[in-house]
Structure 1
Amino acid sequence: MAEKHDKFVNQYSRRTLFRVGAVSGAVLAAGSVLLPGSAAASPGPTVLLNADKVAGSALRPFGRHIAFGADPSQQVAVSWQVPAAVTAPFVRIGTVPGDFSPPIPAEVRALTSQMSWQHPVEEVPPNSPKSITQYYLHARIDRLLPNTTYYYVVGHEGYDPATRLGEMASFRTAPAPGGDGTFSFTAFGDQGVGYNAVATSSLIAGLDPAFHLAMGDLSYALEGEGGHPEEDKYDARLWDSFFVQNEPVTAGIPWMMALGNHEMEGWYSADGYGGVRARFTMPDNAWDGSTCIYSWRYQNVGLISLDGNDVCYNSPSNLDYTKGRQLKWLGRTLAAFRADPTIDFIVVYCHQCTYSTCHSNGAELGAQKDWAPLFDKYQVDLVLNGHNHIYERTDPIRAGKAVKKVPSRGTTDPVKDGTTYIT
């Protein structure tokens, strides 16, 4: 009202709000603007971002991403983030939208990154904290029904979105092992963050695959070779952007990841994979403590994720870090897959390329020397890689040589012809 204009301008001017914020660090709230410890002039909710603890009702999950377990007909891991610490995080699932199970507890993995390590891609204020902590939550769900669509929501104490269908996502478990029904999957490496990355995720959404293989160098939060914390440039919060941009897809389509050289974030652990272990839940069944080295199957296809950093001379920070353990496991796993009459195809995926003509990173000698003979011996059908930012498909290769020329949309028999490699 005109007669109260001066009063409200003086009481709620932008200059007043900015002065309060600059002096105290308090922020705008829905009902009032308060200094820490001051009394409210009128009732209303208040959120102080500089408070030690934030009410769970003020925090929203984001960045949902799901993955299959070793048996995708029964096992799924649901993962997400929250912007601050929460109590009693959970997932609720059901086969009917809105009819959810009681809360299934989730594990909290808090990842703290010192700002002194980092070169932020966006400006930060002069009073930025000395460290940031990202809170990743993970819930493993087992004993699901095969070939069934499940709906789910994620929450925590103070925030249960069970009645908010707009926050519901869904996934579908695989048919029982051994089936040979038609399905499709997608694969790429080196996605990064940005509008091209969003466009690629949109392509996946349109194809609606049963699952996606993400073959390393996922977010490019690390710039550099990887594994050299004294030289590599890093911004941990780019992972937040990565998960947010992909959530429309990753919330419903399982993403099965392999490690790239840009996942060797040497600030967190000796092998550089501490950040990966906080952010993702893969089957990791090669041995106790393996990271993103695992096998699983989808219907009649056996799949294997390998760590190419273990055989990489191009980025050698983790060269031979498993001391031959991965190689022995690979031989045993391929032998078991080939001995299983219900597995018709074997697909191996990792970051570095066994064969490639790319001038930048090229072909990986370690993979040719250690892995290719096993791919030949056990008649691996397909090997998928990222690393080189191109598309290439080989003719089928055996013993390092092309066996026959296969035209586009042609057919090859790995038993007779050899293995096809795709970058």
Structure 2
Amino acid sequence: MTESPHSGLLGSAPTRRTLLKAGLVGGAGVAAGPTLWTRAARSAAPAAGVHLSYGADPTSGMNVSWSTAGSVQAPRLDLGLTPDYGLRLDADSVSSLRVDSVYHHVDLSDLRPGTRYYYRLSHDGGSSTRGSFTTAPEAGESFRFAAFGDMGVADDAARNVNLIRQQRAEFAFVVGDIAYADEGGMGTSRESQQHFGVWDEFLTQIQSSAAAIPWMTTVGNHEMENGNGELGYNGYRARFRHPGNGAAGGQETYSFVRGNVAFIALDGNDATYEYKRNAGYLGAAGDAWLEMQLAIFRSRSDIDFILVGFHQCAYCTNVAHASDGGVRDRWEPLFDRYQVDVVINGHNHCYERTHLMRAGKPVREAPRGSTVDTNDGTIYITAGGGGASAYPDVLPKMSYYTNAQGLKIPELTDYRAVGDATHSVAFFDAHPRDAQGRATLDLEVVASDGSKVDTLTIGRTR
């Protein structure tokens, strides 16, 4: 029997579902969506802003996204276990508000776990862009990931992109305020306050990392772009692809499991009391989805840690935005009930970490360099030092939270364990259980200049 040119590329022979999702039927190239025809002057431009994201299962799914300077003919991805490739997949292409760029996406499924794949991006009449990625291995191996928010386009942001590469993170979890296309941040900006071309600058800035490892993003208040759809998210949706398994089937909420860690991405704009633009649009349906995910993950014997990421801060002393009573009221009871281990936020452009929290109070101290057990409580981290202008760390003994009426209510800050105003990235090393049944999640926060900001060993015993 003659071997198929596609055999060996995927974990099993490509299914019809896989080929349909990728724009192929029966192995022959057929466009999955509307074809975007080229303007000859732009057809020679190569792919730009290449970035990856996991599918719902990181061991077998990967999304590859890129842009071209305008509409092109037959945008495609070639995939293989070697640079000889062997499988060609057509892209799904979409445009976005007030930019000429077109954004292309290929959704890959049925890949082999722990396997390196080579890809080539091209279109008719254009030069190609090459890269590679590695799917997540089966459970049982340690891995490192990066977590941060509030990056933008800036020198400090570019330094953090290089830091992520130097630290050999296997993926990044980005908790909102990505490119700052909408400068106002409340979803009501005038046209003069919006710079949608900055998305392309941002994607170019991160390509050296994001073309090789997944960047899993969530929306922040600066992703609410006035005039860009009902929620203002059309610009974000045009540029990013995520698992699509969240509340209401959108791209803003989703979950995935990597090794022994479950990740849940939420939309803080839905819960915040600070901004009204998208508050409550998911509401009870979103909370029901969240509780279902938490219950499933906490019941699974192969999952040790649950990490939740969203933009607005549950606990932060920084006076710029401080804490948000909306996310506390909506989600903290669920985090307590299902013993969420770590919550990661941005919004305040600084780094801060709490002691272990239950029912709105610190229950165990967690000083820098210590070892804690999250069976006792949840650690809340503000990782907003991604690159946007840093907020000063004033070290207040009193801060505030925003209540349902939008008022700033003073409160003691006895929950604060560590704080720093330096641009930084939080790195986590997840380790499987040892012989005593104890798994660990080692936190190391590194400033853009390479200095250490914080360390903590987080343990959980089943």
Q: Same fold (TM over 0.5)?
A: yes
2:56 paired residue number: 70
Partner of 2:349: 389
Look up the match of 1:345. Answer: 305
2:204 aligned with 1:244, yes or no?
Answer: yes
Residues 1:375 and 1:232: Cα distance change in structure 2 (over 3 Å): farther
Q: Which of 93, 97, 102 is the aligned partner of 2:87?
A: 102
Work out whether residues 224 and 231 of structure 1, in 8 Å CA contact, stay in contact via their aligned partners in 2. Answer: no
Report how far residue 291 of structure 1 moved: 2.8
Matched with 1:409 is: 369
Which structure shows the bigger proportion of residues in strand conformation? Answer: 2
Which letter does structure 2 place at the counterpart of 1:250? A
- Equivalents in 2 of 1:286, 1:307: separation in Å? 10
Matched, 1:84 2:46: no
Secondary structure of the corresponding residue to residue 318 of structure 1: coil
Shift of 1:232: 7.1
Partner of 1:49: none
Partner secondary structure for residue 367 of structure 1: helix
More displaced, 212-221 or 56-65?
56-65
2:130 maps to 1:174: no
Equivalence for 1:138 = 105
Do residues 149 (structure 1) and 116 (structure 2) align?
yes
Select the structure of larger CA radius of gyration: 1
The SS at the match of 1:214 is strand
CA 1:232–1:366 in 2, change beyond 3 Å: closer, same or farther? farther
Change (3 A) 1:254 1:225: same
1:420 is aligned to 379
Mapping of 1:209-224 within 5 angstroms? 209-224=169-184
CA contact (8 A) 1:91 1:153 kept: yes
Distance verdict in 2 for CA 1:232–1:314, change over 3 Å? farther
C-alpha separation in 2, matches of 1:90 and 1:65: 15
Separation (CA, whole Å) in 1 of partners of 2:136 and 2:211:
16
1:149-187 CA distance string (max 9 Å, x none): 1111111122363xxxxx4211110012xx231111001
Deviation at 1:101, TM superposition (A): 2.3
1:159 maps to which of 117, 122, 126: 126
Contact 1:383-1:422 at 8 Å conserved across structures: yes
Instruction: Quote the offset at 1:210 in angstroms.
Output: 1.3
The residue type equivalent to 2:91 in the other structure is A
Task: Please name the residue that 2:319 is paired with.
Answer: 359
- Preserved contact between residue 268 and residue 310 of structure 2 (Cα < 8 Å): yes
Contact kept, 8 Å, 2:182 with 2:226, in 1: the verdict is no
3-state SS of the aligned residue for 1:63? Answer: strand
Letter in 1 for 2:144: S
Deviation of the 1:307 alpha carbon: 0.2
CA contact (8 A) 1:56 1:156 kept: no
| Alignment gaps of 5+ in structure 1 | 1-51, 114-131, 162-166
Measure the CA separation in 2 of the matches of 1:209 and 1:228.
Answer: 36
User: Secondary structure in 2 aligned to 1:87?
Assistant: coil
What are the Cα deviations for residues 226-256 of structure 1, in whole angstroms up to 9, with x where unaligned? 3104477101111110011111111001000
SS at structure 1 position matched to 2:143: coil
Q: Which amino acid aligns with 2:81?
A: T
* Aligned mates of 2:183, 2:42 — CA distance in 1: 35
Q: Please give the alpha-carbon distance, in whole angstroms, between the structure 2 residues aligned to 1:108 and 1:57.
A: 15
2: CA distance, partners of 1:72 / 1:232: 40
- Structure 1 length-normalised TM: 0.79
TM-score by length of 2: 0.73
Higher helix share: 1
C-alpha spacing 1:232/1:313, structure 2 compared with 1 (3 Å)? farther
Task: Judge conservation of contact 1:225–1:232 (CA < 8 Å) in 2.
Answer: no
Provide the rounded CA distance (Å) in 2 between the counterparts of 1:298 and 1:314.
32
Q: Match for residue 272 of structure 1?
A: 232
Q: Aligned with 2:343: secondary structure? A: strand
Residue in structure 1 matching 2:45, options 50, 59, 62? 59
Q: Give the SS at the match of 1:152.
A: strand
SS where residue 338 of structure 1 aligns? helix
Assess, with a 3 A threshold, how the Cα gap between structure 1 residues 56 and 360 changes in structure 2: closer, same or farther.
closer
- Alpha-carbon RMSD across the aligned residues, in angstroms, is 1.6
Q: Is the 8 A contact 1:310 1:321 kept in 2?
A: yes
**Is 2:44–2:127's contact at 8 Å kept on the other side of the alignment?**
no
